Amino acid sequence: MLKYFGLTISIIVFLINLFYFDFEEPFFSEDNKVTLIGIIGSLCAMVLILILILSEKINSKIKGQ
């Protein structure tokens, strides 16, 4: 349950940072650097949590055999 809560929080943080990203300014402008770091960080968190969820499902299938 805690994994899904963390996944939800990281999706919310990703969407907030995507909302604040200014597409009309240069990609690496000062304001966009902060939101870019937030977007990359939340994407990393989502990938790690999804790997954890999948590995636990695989582990339960292996132990169930």
pLDDT, tens digit, 9 for 90 and up, residues 8-58: 999 999 999 999 998 888 878 887 898 999 999 999 999 999 999 999 999
Residue whose entry in the numeric block shows the structure tokens 């790690």: 48
Full-model pTM:
0.84
Altogether, the residues listed in the chain come to a count of: 65
* Residue 48 neighbours by CB distance under 10 Å: 13
* Residue 4 neighbours by CB distance under 10 Å: 10
Q: What is the pLDDT of residue 57?
A: 94
Q: What is the pLDDT of residue 59?
A: 95
Q: What is the pLDDT of residue 30?
A: 82
* Cα–Cα distance, 32 to 30 (Å, whole number): 6
